[in-house]
Structure 1
Amino acid sequence: MGLKDLKSKSDQALASIGSARPAEARPVRPTTAPGATAFMQPTIDALNQRAKAAEAIAQDYKAQLERQPVELALDLLIEVPHRRRRLTPEQFDELKGNLANNPLIHPVTVQRTAEGRFEILSGHNRAEAYRALGRATIPVVILELDEADVERSAFYANLLQPSLPDFEKYLGFRQERERSGHTQKRIAKDAGISESVVSMLFAFDQLPEAALQWIERRPDAIGMSCAAEMAKLCRAGRAEQVIEAIELLVEGQLSQKEAVRQAGRQASLPRTREAAASGPVRVRVGRLEFCQYQSRGTSLRIEFRSEEQRIEAEAAIAATLQALAEQARNASGR
């Protein structure tokens, strides 16, 4: 091999050395304590995040276990009257009959008191039914709530019950408004219902206090639509007529439609004596209408509110007419 060939091979070797890929750089672990700490910090952070996630899962499982129903003595339960959803005797008997033959699907929710007893948040009627059945204990779920959230939670627990009267829904929303200061829009959003429904429920706000006192005796007697119509009549200056109509409605003398018509009926002043005689005359006992009669020429027509009232009055009317006939005969000398 000549010098020329050696030089060529040498040049190729040198070129290959310059183009060779460098070995991948490997991190060098520091030997000092601060350096080692900085080197391990990413690993430490990752482990801390995993520990926090595991702790959150454990706390969630613990909370779920704490919310599991437990059997509690009925004697330890404290009832709060205004939280109890009102049931008719028929509805309560139906509930009692159901619980007599079936397990309690929805446990009573309670809040622990400082005295070691338990205040019912939701389930007053279920607890009362268990007492009526002679049971000693009932399944409950124990909640730990702030005092400010207790009433709110109790109300919303009953809100979606189909048998909850509109008036009681209104009372709950009114209490929530007074507690929170929220607008109707915000209250509707929190409750998950339309703002128009909340607005109609607050029509009860515009009824006279005397009317509200009558409704409290029988909350299921009037719905929010009827209340809205009555509120319009109150704004039109017919508050007294609204109170009278609601009284008759609560007493079962009128339907909701009839009550609205009666409250809105204008008393007409007869133009002539003949017109006054031809109009219907209502016979009342207090605000309760017994019957009405109307005369025309030689006819007298009487309308009673029920057939039972007509039957009771018929004998008395017959006796009165017979007495008048006797008087007429005596007067004529026959």
Structure 2
Amino acid sequence: MSTASRQRDKARSINLDEDDAPASPLPPVAPRTAPGQLIGLQGRVHSQQQEIEQLKKALQERAPSRLPVAKLHEVEGRRRKLTTEEYAELKANLERYPLAQPITVARRLDGEFDIVAGNNRAAIYRELGREEIDAMVLDIDESMIEHAALFSNLLSPALSDFEKYWGFKTLQEQTGINKEELAKTAGISDTHVRRIMKFDLLPEAAKETLAQRPERLGSAAVEQLVKAAREGREALVIEAVGKLVESETFTQAQAVAHVAVKKEKSERKPALVIKRGQLPVCQITSRNGVVGVNFPEKGGEDADAWAQRIHDFIEAELKGR
């Protein structure tokens, strides 16, 4: 019998009836080896990145609606911190002009809405007695709502570096992506992300204080503060951040100077003056281990001779010891 005939016989002997099929597929087995787990993690990261890309697209393509202000709810931690002046400027603008950028919300089970981005605008509309506000209703998975809050705020150039850091840190913890992948996902340079993530290296007490007024410290200055903290000057860093938050006049440049190593001023002793009668012949000074003998201009021709005498004197002194 030929090989082809044998294969046909085998095929006819296979029973594909439903009764002989397994009742249900076997559950997937979790990888146990480190390489297997890494491959699994990479798959989850890729999936998260795809979801984030879909979210960014949804944010760009969403259509606005008019929603009752009374049905909007603020979620703690999502409101972007504004200075008193920034809040006043935004209120004056919204009082005079229509809303340029709709707020973003997510629908709740009770039919009302949680604000994803735009808490300050919604709060000002309440203060102004407005009953409705333009809003984008996101129809996304609940796990992606915090990501939506981050990316909506990233569209604002006024978002402080420290707030971006918290948003990036949250995103990184939830997805497991590294800084390079984070930069690509957020659509900004890898260098910028790395500079922003330097906030993570500040002392915890400094970060807690800075959270009160995150706009007071930028990513450029934080690199110098982190360097000082690594060199053992954590207390000075915490103190400098406290001054930034408490005082409007204390600048970032002053904060950097505050944590810098103070150079000790060398002690300069008064010069020894040698006179001939009332006229000074020379001045002898000592500073940082350097002895100087200075002759007045008229006596300069004797300087070489005196230098030789001083040399001979010091040699004789050392030999005599």
What range is the shorter-chain TM-score in? 0.5 to 0.7
More helix by share: 1
Provide the C-alpha distance between the structure 1 equivalents of 2:90 and 2:252, rounded to a whole number of angstroms. Answer: 28
Provide the C-alpha distance between the structure 2 equivalents of 1:222 and 1:88, rounded to a whole number of angstroms. Answer: 13
1:140 corresponds to = 135
Pair 1:247 & 2:247 matched: no
Pair 1:125 & 2:120 matched: yes
> How far is the alpha carbon of 1:237 from its aligned partner?
1.5
Provide the C-alpha distance between the structure 1 equivalents of 2:258 and 2:101, rounded to a whole number of angstroms. Answer: 44
> Please, which of 266, 270, 286 is the counterpart of residue 262 of structure 2?
266
Provide the C-alpha distance between the structure 2 equivalents of 1:205 and 1:191, rounded to a whole number of angstroms. Answer: 18
The CA RMSD over aligned residues, in Å, is 2.4
Provide the C-alpha distance between the structure 2 equivalents of 1:101 and 1:242, rounded to a whole number of angstroms. Answer: 43
- The TM-score with structure 1 as length reference comes to 0.59
Provide the C-alpha distance between the structure 1 equivalents of 2:262 and 2:236, rounded to a whole number of angstroms. Answer: 10
Pair 1:208 & 2:203 matched: yes
Pair 1:78 & 2:70 matched: no
Pair 1:153 & 2:148 matched: yes
Q: Which moved more, 1:249-258 or 1:236-245?
A: 249-258
> Is the contact made by 2:81 and 2:213 (CA closer than 8 Å) also made in structure 1?
no
Q: Runs (4+) of structure 1 moved beyond 6 Å? A: 269-272
How has the CA–CA distance of structure 1 residues 67 and 202 changed in structure 2, closer, same or farther, with 3 Å as cutoff?
A: closer
Matched to 2:147, the amino acid is R
Instruction: Note the residue ranges of structure 2 that are not aligned, 5 or more in a row.
Output: 1-57, 271-321
* Larger relative contact order (CA 8 Å, sep ≥ 6): 2
Percentage identity across paired residues of the two chains = 42
> How far is the alpha carbon of 1:249 from its aligned partner?
2.1
Provide the C-alpha distance between the structure 1 equivalents of 2:83 and 2:244, rounded to a whole number of angstroms. Answer: 17
- 1:271-310 aligned at under 5 Å gives the runs none
Q: Which moved more, 1:132-141 or 1:200-209?
A: 132-141
Pair 1:107 & 2:102 matched: yes
- 1:177-256 aligned at under 5 Å gives the runs 177-252=172-247, 254-256=250-252
- 1:41-52 aligned at under 5 Å gives the runs none
Pair 1:163 & 2:163 matched: no
Larger radius of gyration: 1
Instruction: Note the residue ranges of structure 1 that are not aligned, 5 or more in a row.
Output: 1-62, 276-334
Provide the C-alpha distance between the structure 2 equivalents of 1:158 and 1:88, rounded to a whole number of angstroms. Answer: 16
Provide the C-alpha distance between the structure 2 equivalents of 1:84 and 1:270, rounded to a whole number of angstroms. Answer: 52
